Structure 1
Amino acid sequence: MTNNLLGIHHVTAMTDNAMRNYKFFTDVLGMRLVKKTVNQDDIQTYHTFFADDVGSPGTDMTFFDFPNNPKGTPGTNSISRTGFRVPNDAALKYYLERFSEYGVENDGIQELFGKKVLPFQESDGQRYQLFSDETNKGVAPGTPWKNGPVPEDKAIYGLGPIEITVSYFDDFKKMLSEVYGMKPIIEEDNVTLFDIGEGGNGGQVILRKDDTTPGRQGFGQVHHVSFRLKDHDAIKKWEANYNKLEIQHSGIVDRFYFEALYTRIGHILIELSTDGPGFMGDEPYETLGEKLSIPPFLEPKREYIEGQIRPFNTKRSK
């Protein structure tokens, strides 16, 4: 079995308003927009990437802005909550006060698997939680946004544990263990915490059992989760592994910023992505995310694309 996953690569969700979502992630959460591009499979749709200071793998939360997309509903058989990492417990208190200032709905600071967490949600219903790295070990974090509105010693600097909720708990648990090589480290009634790679907050999945109403895809819900692979050789091995196990998949897709390989396990779309080439190759560090960035193979269609999408201003440099 190939089990060389390094941790979480990114999470992609759906928004109903790219501008509102941009303001929430940059002005409130203090994450940097490192790429404003389009969905390569639906070029009339924005694809925005929020990450750390330099767009490190394992730090980016991305969004599709599908026109006329209905509102989704939370429920089972879905990726039910996305985690983010902050440096310590003091950072959670900082964000709790910040959420009060900006009117962000939250559940207050709690404890989960021995860690301090702060669950909250965006106005469209998208569900998140902050994880304190106070006692964390494992996958290294990224670099806080140096010119962001949140102090560097408090700011979000990576993705945290991803929560998946399914009705077919035992079958899904077996797939995570036997196919993806994830290690169960805490097992309680109807919930298992898995480590990926070096583990810790940057390499964990929370799997929950829920036999109630299924969730419905739409804005305010997660589209897919991606796990990290080192390079092209690693993703080729996974392609071969899927073939050997007779798991249907997309084949390797060149996304320009990384290579990707997709499959669906039950209702859950799982992507495997390479760490590189990354987001720094086509824009200067100082102005990341300020212009519409289009991969070279789509450049001939730039005029058409710019005529279709709704422009919004993301310029922050002076």
Structure 2
Amino acid sequence: MRHHGIHHVTAIAGPARRNLDFYTRALGLRLVKKTVNFDDPGTYHFYFGDSLGQPGSILTFFPWEHVAPGRNGVGTTQETAFRVPEGSLGFWMHRFIEQGVEHGTVEKRLGQSVLTFKDPHGTSLSLVGIPNAETEEAWTVDGIPAEHAIRGLEGVTLLVDNGERTGAILTDVFGFTETARDGSLVRYKTGALMGSTVDIRSAGGFLPGRMGGGSVHHVAFRAKDDADQAEMVRKLAENHGLQTTEQKDRNYFRSVYFREPGGILFEIATDEPGFAADEAQERLGAELKLPAFLEARRSDIESRLPELA
């Protein structure tokens, strides 16, 4: 099986302007796409990623102005990790202090150096130091030199009651391999450059999570195309007794969704057609993009969306 990895992670935020400012200025990610939640067009859907908007680099948000805070717990994505050059964690710690970002100290986790932090709405995040990541292409902004810039997603940590069945889906359906264990934490990897890591922490008896501001809504895994996605759907049904939704067209990928055994919402998203489907690569994120079925309502939608400037 091909190495697939994570396509994107989607989370819930508070006010849109603050969400946009934090990820593009404090973290220096590129706004790859500015659209709306197709199921709730009264709110934005922001896609942040690398310079090309590649699968594996993308963290997306539904920002709701008055969202109640969520709570990490069993049945949730506990943490989303970005990859940075191994020698850049000191730079980021100083930047977090300057920017007033809530953060921890550098710790070792399964042999890697990790710096944890939170965004303004409570999303649990981390930076993972990756050897030679400085040789990879980087999107840069003022105040963040290329040698320290974020290089996309590293992966996620899932908190579930018992991770065995979740791990079986990662290996059988998504092409991951178990590579390390440390107590209740099990690491799964693929050969992808970005979005290559899923850590599963089994925590039976812990408090269940609650969806809200700062919560991860779902984790999307990569499929090369429709045929690849269909094969994953078949394996989920035949080998794991799990059914997915019908395929949904998200303009930049085509998706199916299902709940994995630990209760976390998973998506399978195609790599194609990509984020340049409706605007040039150099213009990614510049304009509000709407799907065809919402275009007739553009004026009304734009009037209801919160101001970003």
TM score, norm. by length of structure 2: 0.92
Tell me the distance in 2 between the aligned counterparts of 1:308 and 1:142. Answer: 40
1:71 to 69, 72, 96: 69
| Alignment of 1:144 onto 2:147 | no
Q: 1:10-65: CA deviations, max 9, x gaps?
A: 00000011110111111110001111100111111210000011211110100002
1:301 corresponds to: 297
Q: Which runs of 5+ in 1 are unaligned?
A: 314-318
The DSSP-based 3-state class of the residue aligned with 1:214 is: coil
Aligned residue for 1:153, secondary structure, equals helix
How has the CA–CA distance of structure 1 residues 207 and 41 changed in structure 2, closer, same or farther, with 3 Å as cutoff? same
Find the counterpart in structure 1 of residue 199 from structure 2: 206
Q: 2:78 aligns with which of 77, 80, 84?
A: 80
SS in 2 for 1:217: coil
**Cα displacement (A) at 1:297:** 2.9
* 8 Å CA contact retained: 2:5, 2:176: no
Decide whether the 8 Å contact of 1:4 with 1:234 is kept in 2: no
SS of 2:42's equivalent in the other structure is: strand
User: Amino acid of the residue matched to residue 273 of structure 2?
Assistant: P
Compared CA separation, residues 278 and 200, structure 1 to 2 (3 A): closer
Name which of structure 1's ranges 219-228 and 68-77 shifts more when overlaid on structure 2: 68-77
Give the Cα–Cα distance (whole angstroms) in 1 for the partners of residues 136 and 297 of structure 2: 34
Question: For residue 130 of structure 1, what is the aligned residue in structure 2?
Answer: 127
Q: Which sections of structure 2, spanning at least 5 residues, go unmatched?
A: none
Residue 67 of structure 2 aligns to a residue whose secondary structure is coil
What secondary structure sits across from 2:79 in the alignment?
strand
Partner of 1:271: 267
- Aligned identity (percent) is 36
**Aligned position for 1:108:** 105
How many pairs are equivalent?
306
Q: Which amino acid aligns with 1:193?
A: R
Which residue is equivalent to 2:16? 18
Q: Does 1:59 align with 2:57?
A: yes
**Corresponding residue for residue 118 of structure 1:** 115
Residue in 2 aligned with 1:172? 166
Q: 2: distance between equivalents of 1:100 and 1:29?
A: 13
Q: CA RMSD in A?
A: 2.1
Q: Which AA in structure 2 matches 1:183?
A: T
2:254 alignment partner in structure 1: 259
- Contact 1:45–1:309 under 8 Å retained in 2: yes
CA distance in 2, matches of 1:179, 1:55: 25
Deviations 1:162-216 (A, max 9, x none): 10011123333333334444211112211100013x1566311000011311111
Q: Deviations over 1:208-252 (max 9, x none)?
A: 011311111001111011111112221122233334344121122
